[in-house]
């Protein structure tokens, strides 16, 4: 610009010298010519007119403005040459990729990263699963050994239990047989006995003589003293005279007496001397209501159903099963 940028002007001059006849060179030549004409003027010139002075002033102004414009143009050119160039833009953008290529690259990178992550994760999972499986297998092996030991112990216990159960069944069978046999023996020992209820009591009573007289008077059955083997009263919680147990000499003597028991008077009653277990058996038979008649005879307990089926029962018999089997 005018009045400044001398360094810029010098750089411009040096460049123009290399590039040939530039605008600045032409202008400079014209200025030199004008200056030379001024120096070559005679000392005395004729007086100029007003129009000549005006023209000369205009010419000087035009040259000065052109020089200033030239300097500005050179400065702009130098700034453009020293700034960003097209080749620089090409060099800067030659390594750039398109958005589609960038998407492919990013996708490929993501896939590779995901593949690596998946592979790493699978490796870690497989390792962890292997560790867990190993631990579980150890526990399973330990449990298998323990289970095998328990199985062996269980087999021993089962064998022992089976033997014990078999022995228990055998003992139960033997016990039932023993109880049945005991009950039968007890009942057989009472075979010739008579249980007497409501027999009168008095001081210093001779039970044998009173019994023989009672049988003769009410039942018209003659008995000798030897026919009454034993006679005594037994304890009882009931009010009134305590019951009598009379052991007769034989079953024939007992049969003669019991055949006429319906003729007894004074509320005296004669019964068979039945064992406790047989009494309970007769009670069970009566409670079922399946029998029209239940009785005792010759050491056995019998029952008759309404359809005429007659069965002899043992103290351990299953009553319902016997009736269903009808035997």
Output the 3-class SS for the chain.
CCCCCHHHHHHHHHHHHHHCCCHHHHHHHHHHHHHHHHHCCCCCCCCCCHHHHHHHHHHHHHHHHHHHHHHHHHHHHHHHHHCCCHHHHHHHHCCCCCHHHHHHHHHHHHHHHHHHHHHHHHHHHHHHHHHHHHHHHHHHHHHHHHHHHHHHHHHHHHHHHHHHHHHHHHHHHHHHHHHHHHHHHHHHHCCCEEEEECCCCCCCCCHHHHHHHHHHHHHCCCCCHHHEEEEEECCCCCCCCCCEEEEECCHHHHHHHHHCHHHCCCCCEEEECCCHHHHHHHHHHHHHCCEEEEEEECCEEEEEECCCCEEEECCCCCHHHHHHHCC
299, 187 Cβ separation under 8 angstroms: yes
Domains in the chain: how many in total?
4
The average pLDDT across 200-219 equals 92
CA atoms of 224 and 208, how far apart (whole Å): 10
Confidence category of residue 34, pLDDT binned at 50, 70, 90: very low
Q: Is residue 97 part of a domain?
A: no
Which residues, in sequence order, are CB contacts of 184 under 8 Å at separation 6+? 299
Which of residues 273, 299, 314 is at a domain's end?
273
State the pLDDT at residue 80: 63
pTM of the model: 0.52
Q: Is residue 73 part of a domain?
A: no
268 and 201 share a domain? yes
Q: Is residue 150 part of a domain?
A: yes
202 and 245 share a domain? yes
**Between residues 192 and 59, the one the model is more confident about:** 192
State the pLDDT at residue 192: 93
176, 192 Cβ separation under 8 angstroms: no
**Between residues 76 and 325, the one the model is more confident about:** 325
265 and 280 share a domain? no
186 and 208 share a domain? no
121 and 137 share a domain? yes
| pLDDT surpassing 60 at residue 10 | no
145 and 217 share a domain? no
Which of residues 166, 190, 214 is at a domain's end?
190
159 and 228 share a domain? no
Q: Is residue 82 part of a domain?
A: no
Tens of pLDDT along 277-290? 999 999 999 998 89
Tens of pLDDT along 106-152? 888 888 888 888 888 888 888 888 999 999 999 999 999 999 999 99
For the ranges 5-9, 68-72, 96-100, 277-281, the lowest mean pLDDT is seen at 5-9
**Between residues 182 and 70, the one the model is more confident about:** 182
What angle, 0 to 180 degrees and rounded to 10, lies between the N-to-C axes of helices 276-288 and 99-189? 120
Task: Kindly give the pairing relationship between strand 193-197 and strand 269-272.
Answer: antiparallel
250 and 315 share a domain? no
Q: Phi and psi of 245, rounded to 5°?
A: -115, 120
282 and 260 share a domain? no
Q: Is residue 50 part of a domain?
A: no
258 and 278 share a domain? no
- Percent of the chain scored above 90 by pLDDT? 45
214 and 158 share a domain? no
Confidence category of residue 103, pLDDT binned at 50, 70, 90: confident
For the ranges 88-92, 153-157, 243-247, 259-263, the lowest mean pLDDT is seen at 88-92
**Between residues 228 and 16, the one the model is more confident about:** 228
Which of residues 190, 207, 235 is at a domain's end?
190
Q: Is residue 66 part of a domain?
A: no
CA atoms of 176 and 103, how far apart (whole Å): 98
234 and 281 share a domain? no
Q: Is residue 232 part of a domain?
A: yes
313, 324 Cβ separation under 8 angstroms: no
Q: Is residue 48 part of a domain?
A: no
Its domain, for residue 214, covers 193-273
**Between residues 68 and 19, the one the model is more confident about:** 68
């Amino acid at each position: 610009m005018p009045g400044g940028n001398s360094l810029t002007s010098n750089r411009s001059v040096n460049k123009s010298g290399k590039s040939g006849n530039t605008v600045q060179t032409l202008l400079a030549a014209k200025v030199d010519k004008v200056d030379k004409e001024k120096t070559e003027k005679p000392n005395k010139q004729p007086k100029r007119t007003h129009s000549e002075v005006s023209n000369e002033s205009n010419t000087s102004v035009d040259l000065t403005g052109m020089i200033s414009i030239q300097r500005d143009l050179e400065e702009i050119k130098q700034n453009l040459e020293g700034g960003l160039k097209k080749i620089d833009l090409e060099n800067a953008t030659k390594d750039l990729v398109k958005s589609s290529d960038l998407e492919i690259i990013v996708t490929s990178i993501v896939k590779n990263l995901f593949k690596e992550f998946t592979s790493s994760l699978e490796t870690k999972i497989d390792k962890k699963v292997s560790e867990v499986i190993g631990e579980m297998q150890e526990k399973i092996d330990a449990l298998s050994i323990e289970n095998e030991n328990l199985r062996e112990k269980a087999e021993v216990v089962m064998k022992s239990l089976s033997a014990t159960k078999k022995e228990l069944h055998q003992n139960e069978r033997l016990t039932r047989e023993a109880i049945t046999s005991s009950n039968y023996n007890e009942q057989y020992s009472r075979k010739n006995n008579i249980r007497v209820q409501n027999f009168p009591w008095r001081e210093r009573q001779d039970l044998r003589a009173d019994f023989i007289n009672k049988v003769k008077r009410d039942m018209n059955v003659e008995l000798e003293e030897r026919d009454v083997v034993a006679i005594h009263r037994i304890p009882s919680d009931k009010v009134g005279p305590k019951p009598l147990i009379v052991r007769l000499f034989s079953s024939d003597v007992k049969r003669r007496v019991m055949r006429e028991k319906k003729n007894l008077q004074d509320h005296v009653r004669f019964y068979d001397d039945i064992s406790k277990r047989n009494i309970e058996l007769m009670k069970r038979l009566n409670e079922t209501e399946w029998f029209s008649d239940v009785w005792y005879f010759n050491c056995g307990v019998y029952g008759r159903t309404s359809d005429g089926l007659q069965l002899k029962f043992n103290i351990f018999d299953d009553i319902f099963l016997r009736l269903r089997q009808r035997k």
